[in-house]
């Protein structure tokens, strides 16, 4: 199972981080000489996360922690063909 971890900041929200990772993954897929199923799964996971997540609601939940100087880490995976995520707050 492919798992993606992302850390938003005050200057780069979770949506932006997911878009950056999705773009980087697509570039790796295009440059790969052989088929890489894990890269394909990662690209699909990020695509589904970007298409199906209410980022406004999500930002309103985690941004207060960033404003107090804490780190937020998202863990994203596929469960039953749908993207699932959890996030946790840590110290800086």
Q: What is the pLDDT of residues 13-35, one digit of tens each?
A: 999 999 999 999 999 999 988 88
Average pLDDT, stretch 67-90? 96
In this prediction, residue 92 has a pLDDT band, given cuts at 50, 70 and 90, of low
Query: Which residue's entry shows tokens 């996360």?
Result: 49
Q: Let me know how long the chain is.
A: 92
66-to-46, 61, 81, 88 alpha-carbon distances in Å: 23, 10, 30, 11
pTM over 0.85: yes
Q: Tabulate helix, strand, coil % of the chain (nearest 5).
A: 50, 25, 25
How far apart are alpha carbons 49 and 19 in whole angstroms?
Answer: 10
Proportion of the chain above pLDDT 90, given as a percent? 89
Q: Give all strands (DSSP E) within 1-92, no chain letters.
A: 3-6, 71-79, 82-90
Mean pLDDT of the chain: 95
């Amino acid at each position: 199972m492919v798992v993606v971890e992302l850390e938003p900041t005050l200057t780069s929200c979770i949506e932006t981080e997911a878009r950056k990772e999705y773009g980087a993954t697509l570039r790796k897929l295009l440059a790969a000489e052989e088929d890489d199923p894990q890269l394909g799964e990662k690209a699909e996971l990020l695509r589904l996360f970007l298409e199906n997540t209410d980022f406004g609601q999500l930002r309103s939940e985690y941004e207060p922690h960033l404003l107090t100087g804490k780190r937020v880490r998202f863990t994203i995976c596929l469960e039953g063909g749908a993207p699932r995520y959890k996030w946790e707050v840590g110290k800086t």
